[in-house]
Amino acid sequence: MADNWTVVAYAVGRRGQETPGIDPRYARFRLNVAASRIQGWGVFAGEAIPARRKVIEYTGERLTPEEAQERLLRPQHYLFVINDNLIVDGAVNGSGAQYINHSCDPNLCIQVAKGHILLMSLRAIEPGEELSYDYRFRPSALRNVCSCGAPNCRGSINPGL
């Protein structure tokens, strides 16, 4: 599996909306959506999660590259781009994993298995801890200032910028 995936996420107008939820069919642990200190909504562990476990699957509508280009114009999209054959928009039928924020010091990593995008724990995660992974915005994408707050924050969600 090529290791060239990226996330393209953009969401507006989230204030005043109902708190989004987690679809328990795709989560292996109790998870909660709540306001994040990083940005907007975030996903938090509702119980202890051991290291190297599947935490949640990132689901959504599967798009062709052409559909993905149009989707970028929508005010809310959470595109997970594995490659041209696997682009998922978590804004449509998302499991809730689309609300997990970026961090430069993440506690989750991505594993792609048989067309499924799995978020795995990198280390033990305590109840109440916010979940995060590295979005790896492409260097060619607009530079996004990072506000993850990690001591080793690289300052940008795009690596190398």
Instruction: Tell which residue, 53, 52, 33, has the closest CA to residue 41.
Output: 33
Nearer to Zn ion, 12 or 145 (CB): 145
Q: Is 97 in the site for Zn ion (CB under 5 A)?
A: no
Paired with 9 in beta bridges are 78
Nearer to Zn ion, 26 or 137 (CB): 137
By CB under 5 A, name the one of 33, 109, 141, 153 that touches Zn ion: 153
By CB under 5 A, name the one of 104, 117, 118, 125 that touches Zn ion: 104
- Measured from the Cβ of residue 123, the count of other Cβ atoms closer than 10 Å reads 12
Dihedral sign for Cα atoms in the order 94, 56, 154, 152: positive
Q: Is 148 in the site for Zn ion (CB under 5 A)?
A: yes
Q: Is 7 in the site for Zn ion (CB under 5 A)?
A: no
